[in-house]
């Protein structure tokens, strides 16, 4: 009679078993697999449906390299899986730009990826999908990917901390769909080669705190579509060195979003129904101005400072564009005004201050809609009637 053999709780590759695939089959649920330094070829996606830990070297993840082909190396589908101290690298597909074309996919309810490096020549880095997916991503680097860095969609709610995405061809981070709401802290999203830093769309949300978004080819942050309403706390945005005129923050197509104590050069709200809430933020040195509200956008700006912009500190343009602006300062625009209202733009300004602006405190151009100023202080002279048009 054949005896049942208990599955091992610990396996070392290649000492105890020659391949990682075999180790994943043999290990007991909740067991640990240790990979010795080296390069391991993963010919097909390893679909993990039971809990396990796969560990390389968390201090030197480049010492343990897992290489694949066009498909993902791992799909963490079920169980509490933990990947620690690994470099995951695949070729990816040239033809696909979806969540399946990533070096790592996660749809399990609980998973953890720590101290890992993710790279894909033609594909994306890390895809997290599904309403029950709540993994934790800690101290990882996603770099040199052919498409996106992170893609979070279909209601996923991961926690991502102390991680960096850089030098990807697509967006560093994409957040898509109703119910999708990551919590992202102390992360860096930089140097996208062909796209932007963070892209939030189709009703997604999330909380981003103490993040740095810099030097991306296109916009640093874009929030688009009705229902999209992420929160940004103490985040910093810096434009591309190649195109310093590019917007760093764009909210459009009916989206919202909350910004508290953030820093950037330029902020744009565009389109009917667009209504961001911006509180205690600083916009400094924008090449095309500081705040631009147009095409029917609104929003609320409280306690913000715009300074040293090349053009006007705040420009409101187009019929229906009418933000609420309170306790804000518009300072030292080099060629523009403190407040520029044109082509039907309006708004309500309360307890605001302008000072040191080259074209005066308030400049009107074309038709002006309803605009009110209450308890404001204008230290600049108003332009003459001839200048004002």
* pLDDT, average across residues 74-95: 96
Alpha helices, DSSP H only, in 141-210?
none
Residue of 286 and 273 predicted with greater confidence: 273
What per-residue confidence (pLDDT) applies to 240? 62
CA nearest neighbour of 319 among 293, 300, 337: 293
CB 217: neighbour CB atoms within 10 A?
16
Establish if 127 belongs to a structural domain: yes
Helix and strand counts by DSSP (H, E) for the chain: 2, 45
Reported as a single tens digit per residue, the pLDDT across 1-41 is 455 779 999 999 999 999 999 999 999 999 999 999 999 99
Q: What percent of the chain lies above the pLDDT cut of 70? A: 94
> Would you say residue 100 lies in a domain?
yes
Higher pLDDT, 334 or 380: 334
Nearest to 355 by CA among 383, 333, 331, 371: 331
Give me 327's structure tokens. 């306790």
Reply yes or no on whether the pLDDT at 350 is more than 80. Answer: yes
pLDDT at position 384 is 43
Helix (H) or strand (E) run with residue 83 in it: strand 81-84
Give the 3-state secondary structure of 272-303: CCCCCEEECCEEECCECECEEEECCCCCEEEC
- CB half-sphere exposure, 382, CA atoms < 13 A: 11
DSSP per residue, 118-139: EEESSSEEEEEESTT---EEES
| pLDDT greater than 50 at residue 387 | no
Which has the closest alpha carbon to 236: 248, 250, 251? 248
- Kind of pairing, strands 347-350 and 81-84? unpaired
Is the pLDDT reported for residue 283 higher than 50? Answer: yes
* β-strands 258-260, 277-279 pairing: parallel
Domain limits at 22? 1-169
Q: How confident is the model at residue 288, as a pLDDT? A: 87
Q: What is the mean pLDDT of the chain?
A: 94
Structural domain contains residue 96: yes
Q: Is 2 inside any structural domain?
A: yes
Cα–Cα dist 106/248, whole Å: 30
Q: What is the pLDDT of residue 386?
A: 37
- Give per-residue pLDDT as tens, 302-348: 999 999 999 999 999 999 999 999 999 999 999 999 999 999 999 99
* Domain-embedded: residue 263: no
Cα–Cα dist 75/70, whole Å: 14
Residue 116 lies in a domain: yes
Residue 21 dihedral angles phi and psi, to the nearest 5°:
-60, -45
Q: Could you give the number of structural domains in the chain?
A: 1
Question: Lowest-confidence range among 63-77, 261-275, 297-311, 353-367?
Answer: 353-367
Q: What is the predicted pLDDT for the residue at 14?
A: 97
Assigned domain for 240 exists? no
- pTM for this model (two decimals): 0.95
Kindly state whether residue 65 falls inside one of the protein's structural domains: yes
Coil vs helix vs strand at 153: strand
**Which two structure tokens, joined as six digits, stand for 58?**
């968390």
Check: CB of residue 333 under 8 Å from CB of residue 355: no
Measure the CA–CA gap between 151 and 236, rounded to whole angstroms. 21
- Which CATH number goes with the domain that contains 97? 2.160.20.10
Encode pLDDT of 132-175 as tens digits: 999 999 999 999 999 999 999 999 999 999 999 999 999 999 99
CA distance 201 to 253: 10
Give yes or no for residue 196 having a pLDDT over 50. Answer: yes
Spatial neighbors of 370 by CB under 8 A, at least 6 apart, are: 322, 346
Please say whether the beta carbons of 362 and 385 come within 8 A: no
Tell me what pLDDT residue 243 has. 61
Q: What's the longest Cα–Cα distance across the chain?
A: 104
Cα–Cα dist 152/230, whole Å: 13
């Amino acid at each position: 009679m054949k005896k049942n053999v208990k599955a091992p709780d610990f396996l070392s590759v290649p000492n105890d078993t020659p391949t990682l695939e075999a180790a994943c089959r043999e290990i007991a649920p909740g067991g640990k697999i240790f990979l010795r330094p080296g390069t391991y070829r993963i010919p097909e996606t390893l679909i993990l449906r039971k809990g396990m830990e796969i560990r390389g070297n968390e201090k030197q993840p480049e010492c343990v390299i897992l290489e694949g082909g066009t498909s993902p190396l791992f799909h963490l589908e079920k169980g509490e899986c933990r990947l620690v101290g690994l470099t995951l690298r695949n070729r990816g597909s040239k033809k696909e730009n979806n969540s399946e074309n990533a070096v790592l996919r996660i749809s399990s309810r609980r998973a953890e990826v720590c101290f890992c490096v993710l790279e894909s020549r033609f594909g994306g880095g890390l895809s997290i999908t599904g309403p029950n997916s709540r993994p934790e991503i800690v101290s990882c680097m996603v770099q040199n990917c052919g498409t996106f860095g992170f893609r979070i969609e279909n209601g996923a709610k991961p926690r991502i901390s102390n991680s960096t995405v850089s030098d990807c061809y697509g967006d560093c981070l994409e957040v898509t769909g109703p119910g999708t709401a990551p919590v992202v802290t102390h992360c860096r999203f930089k140097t996208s080669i062909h796209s932007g830093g963070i892209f939030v769309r189709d009703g997604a949300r999330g909380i981003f705190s103490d993040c740095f978004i810099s030097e991306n080819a296109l916009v640093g942050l874009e929030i688009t579509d009705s229902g999209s309403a992420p929160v940004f706390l103490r985040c910093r945005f810096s434009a591309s060195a190649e195109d310093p005129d590019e917007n760093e923050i764009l909210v459009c197509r009916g989206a919202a979003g909350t910004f508290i104590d953030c820093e950037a050069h330029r902020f744009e709200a565009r389109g009917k129904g667009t209504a961001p809430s911006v509180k205690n933020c600083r916009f400094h040195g924008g090449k095309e101005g500081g705040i631009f509200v147009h095409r029917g956008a609104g929003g609320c700006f409280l306690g913000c400072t715009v300074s040293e912009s090349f053009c006007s500190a705040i420009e409101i343009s187009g019929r229906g564009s009418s933000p609420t602006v309170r306790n804000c300062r518009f300072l030292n625009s080099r060629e523009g005004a403190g407040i520029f209202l044109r082509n039907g733009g309006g708004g309500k300004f309360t307890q605001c201050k302008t000072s040191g602006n080259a074209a005066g405190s308030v400049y009107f151009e074309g038709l002006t809609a309803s605009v009110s100023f209450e308890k404001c202080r204008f230290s600049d002279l108003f332009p003459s009637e001839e200048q004002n048009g």
